[in-house]
Amino acid sequence: MASKPPTGDPVQDAPQVEAPKHAAAGLPAIGHTLLMAQQQMGVRRTAQTLLKVNQKNGFDCPGCAWPEGDKRHTAEFCENGAKAVAEEATLRRVTPEFFAAHPLSDLAARSGYWLGQQGRITQPMYLPEGGDRYEAVTWERAFEIIAEELTALDSPDEALFYTSGRTSNEAAFLLQLFAREFGTNNLPDCSNMCHESSGSALTETIGIGKGSVSLEDLHRADLIVIAGQNPGTNHPRMLSALEKAKSAGAKIISVNPLPEAGLEKFKNPQTPQGMIKGAALTDLFLQIRIGGDQALFRLLNKLIVETEGAVDELFVREHTHGFEEFEAAAKEADWDATLEATGLTRTEIERALAMVLASRRTIVCWAMGLTQHKHSVPTIREVVNFLLLRGNIGRPGAGVCPVRGHSNVQGDRTMGIFERPAPAFLDALEKEFGFAPPRHHGYDVVRSIEALRDGRAKVFFAMGGNFVAATPDTEVTEAAMRRASLTVHVSTKLNRSHAVTGRRALILPTLGRTDKDVQHSGRQFVTVEDSMGMVHASRGNLAPASPHLLSEPAIVVRMARATLGARSAVDWAEFERDYATVRDRIARVVPGFEDFNAKVARPGGFQLPHAPRDERRFPTATGKANFTAAPVEVPELPEGRLLLQTLRSHDQYNTTIYGLDDRYRGIKGGRRVVLVNPEDARQLGLADGSYTDLVSEWKDGVERRAPGFRVVHYPTARGCAAAYYPETNVLVPLGSTADVSNTPASKSVVVRFEAALAAGNES
Ligand code: SF4
């Protein structure tokens, strides 16, 4: 029998700490999976869903974007994928009666964990101007309200259309189509906060903003460098691929300020041998200082250039541009400066070099640890330099592998969810639909918050996600959101963003990945694109959580019809009746999707083309792969301060909190903890178990405070601290972003510690 959600009583944040783990998954993962699944879904529904997730005729996991192999296991999911499914397929319901019992002030006082545990929202809800609680509203009235607000704007650019990475290709394509026919490119998305730096650096250097490796490549690599990524929690089934690569002789270098259990050993629950003995993963752990990655790769590149015969000169000559300027810059790299910037030893770097030189097929995988810094774009360019030097792009078993954290974040961008669309995409859209899309760039996430703050944006529409919790500078963002005239959230479950509203607000409950989607023409499926460019179908198999839900595509279609009416050049209605008609349009607008319906009907779907991988053809400004030679940057750290990175616990997926434990790091029953190196703590007078306030410092002179964190002495790199978001997003200044990509610099926040006024608070 599924359990009841936490009720009225606040959930105390009282973290207990034990020794960190040194292996991921195994029996505990099975135990936690079944416990959480049973609590949310009960036994029968647990089986119904978990035997369908990531299967070829099933639904795509609403968790991360890790691909599936062609051969599917009976249990084709990880612990955190099961948690994501359980939270969506929960039997708990949030009804109009719930909203009647919980005024906005109460919802605003609740933690994200408590809100998320209440269950699936069953009906459209409306918060009238001056109202203190949401009330049920009809879909017709909801779309009327949206149309009223949008058509009352002085400019289409006063509207913002945000997309979270769970949105399907079909819904994303329709949302960008609507926004552009409405007249704006204000299409911020969660990619702006995560891999935008990867997209910017890769588009410039290899001509396409996506990873160039397939799952098969990972299995064939002989060296895998994992930088700024914690796959054990954020992409858990990647560990199976690493185990497979290791068993074929591959070596692994992990570059991370934190020792992570999932990088040390993997106890594969799919095999008795795996479960008992497990597989050691990392061969060389480089415990680098936060923000030291560019310096590390620059020095490695110097050493490669200076090693006789180490450079793939034929590849460099035939396929690259800018080598000479890069080579000159690389030779400037300095050992002492690099050791200072990285906190590593000469021996460690020399060991890494030896492993690099012994490799013929190298892959570099990365995530937020590289993308959320001021100098992230130059850092990722340096990673590309590192791979180009030895011809490790467009070779089987080699390449770039930015690992996406949201199930369809890459697909949404491919569908046109981008505030800076390519002219070729707009040309194709105009040719296909017969209207002139706007050509001026729109707002990304940070610009959107600034526009709301400054009154330049008035209507905020979000397709999924939890905007105010996921974004930086929480107090600024929440105040900005409250300036909107209307906020609209298409959601499956409650979250903080529903409690931080504009003058009026709407919650539009939608179908989840696990729900059956039946439209006029019959049962529908949607499609997603994983981190490695595989596009495949997703079909929910459960009766929808309520008869009052609409699918994401239907919501966009009805909003478009209500807002654009007869002035629209698009036959919106057909798209709701049959999603195949959406895919027919995508096939004519988006390169690589020709014959989309036919190709996606194949079991497992199809791989999108990737010129650098497939043909060593680089569609860049020079027509070659570009070496770059940016100056090396290292975060500055004033005396008596530490550099904080915000991160996820193991019981968390983006801003969704599944539980209050972080099992691999030994944290239980609480989230307001700050991990500090024992020697740093001693110097700063921070006793283990004491409580402190975190105060961030930035050039705007504003003091941003996160109160009541329990100090945990933890083996972080010296000078580096770590704490969970969204609790510490309040510390990240809105203006502190990566150059070029404008991604919030959530991984390098300068903090000081002040005696806590009070210990912890609700979680
Ligand atoms: S690895 Fe990612 S996509 Fe796969 S089951 Fe786990 S959370 Fe879901």
DSSP line for 503-571: SEEEEEEB--TTB--EETTEE--EEEE-TTSEEEEE---BPPS-TT-B-HHHHHHHHHHHHHGGG-SS-
pLDDT at residue 320, as a whole number: 98
Q: Are residues 189 and 212 in the same domain?
A: no
Q: Mean per-residue pLDDT for 331-351?
A: 98
Q: Are 261 and 667 in contact (CB under 8 A)?
A: no
Distance 61 CA to ligand 1 centre (A): 6
DSSP H helices in 590-743: 596-600, 611-615, 678-684
Distance 87 CA to ligand 1 centre (A): 14
Q: Are residues 355 and 376 in the same domain?
A: yes
Domain boundary among 403, 437, 459: 403
Q: Are 88 and 492 in contact (CB under 8 A)?
A: yes
Residue 609 to residues 412, 509, 617, 697: CA-CA distances in angstroms?
A: 17, 35, 11, 45
Distance 64 CA to ligand 1 centre (A): 5
Domain boundary among 403, 431, 465: 403
pLDDT digits (tens, 9 = 90+) for 213-246: 999 999 999 999 999 999 999 999 999 999 999 9
Contacts of 753 (CB under 8 A, 6+ apart): 642, 674, 684, 686, 692, 693, 694, 695, 711
Domain membership of residue 114 (yes or no) is: no
Distance 335 CA to ligand 1 centre (A): 40
12: confidence class by pLDDT, cuts 50, 70, 90? low
Atom 8 of ligand 1, nearest CA residue: 81
pLDDT at residue 763, as a whole number: 46
pLDDT over 90 at 759, yes or no: no
Q: Are 379 and 364 in contact (CB under 8 A)?
A: no
Contacts of 490 (CB under 8 A, 6+ apart): 461, 462, 463, 464, 508, 510, 552, 555
Task: For residue 755, list its beta bridge partners.
Answer: 692
pLDDT at residue 519, as a whole number: 98
Ligand 1 pocket test, candidate residues 51, 52, 54, 64, most atoms within 8 A of CB: 64
pLDDT at residue 13, as a whole number: 80
Name the DSSP class of 366: E
Amino acid (1-letter code) at residue 231: P
pLDDT digits (tens, 9 = 90+) for 588-633: 999 999 999 999 999 999 999 999 999 999 999 999 999 999 999 9
Domain membership of residue 258 (yes or no) is: yes
Ligand 1 pocket test, candidate residues 55, 80, 538, most atoms within 8 A of CB: 80
Distance 602 CA to ligand 1 centre (A): 22
- Run of H or E residues at 421: none
Q: Are residues 310 and 290 in the same domain?
A: yes
Q: Are residues 187 and 214 in the same domain?
A: no
Q: Are 95 and 664 in contact (CB under 8 A)?
A: no
Q: Are residues 375 and 263 in the same domain?
A: yes
Task: For residue 675, list its beta bridge partners.
Answer: 712, 722
Distance 233 CA to ligand 1 centre (A): 10
Q: Rounded CA gap, 383 and 740, in Å?
A: 17
Q: Are 685 and 646 in contact (CB under 8 A)?
A: no
Q: Rounded CA gap, 126 and 104, in Å?
A: 12
Q: Rounded CA gap, 56 and 71, in Å?
A: 10
What's the token pair of residue 422?
């390519």
Residue 308 to residues 365, 385, 388, 393, 422: CA-CA distances in angstroms?
A: 27, 18, 16, 21, 42
Mean pLDDT of the chain: 96
Task: For residue 720, list its beta bridge partners.
Answer: 643
What's the token pair of residue 75?
């249990």
Distance 82 CA to ligand 1 centre (A): 8
32: confidence class by pLDDT, cuts 50, 70, 90? very high
Q: Are residues 655 and 725 in the same domain?
A: yes
Domain membership of residue 287 (yes or no) is: yes
pLDDT digits (tens, 9 = 90+) for 556-565: 999 999 999 9
Atom 7 of ligand 1, nearest CA residue: 81
750: confidence class by pLDDT, cuts 50, 70, 90? very high
What's the token pair of residue 390?
């030895």
Give the HSE-up count for residue 349: Cα atoms under 13 Å, Cβ half-sphere. Answer: 25
Domain membership of residue 625 (yes or no) is: no
Which one, of 693, 670, 692, lies nearest residue 763 by Cα? Answer: 670
Question: Phi and psi of 284, rounded to 5°?
Answer: -140, 115
Q: Are residues 311 and 433 in the same domain?
A: no
Q: How far is CA 320 from the centre of its chain?
A: 31
Q: Rounded CA gap, 409 and 172, in Å?
A: 10
Question: Phi and psi of 626, rounded to 5°?
Answer: -100, 120
pLDDT at residue 63, as a whole number: 97
pLDDT digits (tens, 9 = 90+) for 537-550: 999 999 999 999 99
Q: Mean per-residue pLDDT for 435-453?
A: 98
- Closest-lying ligand 1 atom to the alpha carbon of residue 62: 8
Q: Are 712 and 691 in contact (CB under 8 A)?
A: no
pLDDT over 90 at 40, yes or no: yes
Q: Are 698 and 732 in contact (CB under 8 A)?
A: no
Distance 60 CA to ligand 1 centre (A): 9
Q: How far is CA 497 from the centre of its chain?
A: 18
Q: Are residues 480 and 347 in the same domain?
A: no
- Give the CATH number of the domain where residue 679 resides: 2.40.40.20
Distance 52 CA to ligand 1 centre (A): 13
102: confidence class by pLDDT, cuts 50, 70, 90? very high
- Give the CATH number of the domain where residue 396 resides: 3.40.228.10
Distance 410 CA to ligand 1 centre (A): 15
Q: How far is CA 84 from the centre of its chain?
A: 14
Structurally, the chain folds into a number of domains equal to: 4
DSSP 253-287: EEE-SS--HHHHEEE-TTSHHHHHT-EE--SEEE-
Return the percentage of the chain with pLDDT > 70, whole number: 98
- Closest-lying ligand 1 atom to the alpha carbon of residue 237: 1
Angle (nearest 5°) at CA 196 between 435 and 264? 145
Q: Are residues 537 and 582 in the same domain?
A: yes
pLDDT digits (tens, 9 = 90+) for 284-318: 999 999 999 999 999 999 999 999 999 999 999 99
Q: Are residues 450 and 593 in the same domain?
A: yes
pLDDT over 90 at 14, yes or no: no
Q: Rounded CA gap, 88 and 64, in Å?
A: 14
Q: Mean per-residue pLDDT for 164-179?
A: 98
How many angstroms separate the first and last alpha carbons of the chain? 25
Name the DSSP class of 676: E
- By CB atoms closer than 10 A (0-12, 13-18, 19+), residue 144 is middle
Q: Rounded CA gap, 509 and 120, in Å?
A: 8
Give the residue numbers spanning the domain of 465. Answer: 122-194+421-607
Q: Are residues 244 and 168 in the same domain?
A: no
Ligand 1 pocket test, candidate residues 229, 237, 404, 408, most atoms within 8 A of CB: 237
Domain membership of residue 200 (yes or no) is: no
Domain membership of residue 416 (yes or no) is: no
Q: Mean per-residue pLDDT for 50-69?
A: 97
Ligand 1 pocket test, candidate residues 50, 77, 239, 406, most atoms within 8 A of CB: 77
Amino acid (1-letter code) at residue 418: F
762: confidence class by pLDDT, cuts 50, 70, 90? very low
pLDDT over 90 at 756, yes or no: no
Decide: helix, strand or coil at residue 599: helix
Which one, of 213, 98, 230, 190, lies nearest residue 507 by Cα? Answer: 98
pLDDT at residue 661, as a whole number: 96
Domain membership of residue 521 (yes or no) is: yes
Contacts of 583 (CB under 8 A, 6+ apart): 170, 527, 593, 596, 597, 600
Q: Are residues 279 and 361 in the same domain?
A: yes
Q: Mean per-residue pLDDT for 405-423?
A: 98
Other beta carbons less than 10 A from residue 647's beta carbon = 24
- Closest-lying ligand 1 atom to the alpha carbon of residue 77: 5
pLDDT at residue 250, as a whole number: 98
Question: Which residues' Cβ are closer than 6 Å to ligand 1?
Answer: 54, 61, 63-64, 66, 77-78, 80-81, 235-237
Q: Rounded CA gap, 23 and 7, in Å?
A: 35
Q: Rounded CA gap, 192 and 450, in Å?
A: 14
Q: Rounded CA gap, 60 and 76, in Å?
A: 10
Q: Rounded CA gap, 122 and 481, in Å?
A: 24
Q: Mean per-residue pLDDT for 499-523?
A: 98
pLDDT at residue 8, as a whole number: 60
Ligand 1 pocket test, candidate residues 59, 78, 654, most atoms within 8 A of CB: 78
Greatest pairwise CA separation for the chain in angstroms: 74
Q: Are 251 and 222 in contact (CB under 8 A)?
A: yes
Atom 2 of ligand 1, nearest CA residue: 64
Which one, of 20, 83, 11, lies nearest residue 722 by Cα? Answer: 20
173: confidence class by pLDDT, cuts 50, 70, 90? very high
- Closest-lying ligand 1 atom to the alpha carbon of residue 235: 1
pTM: 0.97
Return the percentage of the chain with pLDDT > 90, whole number: 97
Residue 678 to residues 22, 260, 683, 713, 717: CA-CA distances in angstroms?
A: 19, 17, 9, 5, 10
Domain membership of residue 618 (yes or no) is: no
Peptide bond preceding 547 in cis form (omega within 30 of 0): no
Q: Mean per-residue pLDDT for 533-537?
A: 98
pLDDT over 60 at 146, yes or no: yes
Q: Rounded CA gap, 634 and 297, in Å?
A: 13
Distance 199 CA to ligand 1 centre (A): 22
What's the token pair of residue 313?
């000169």
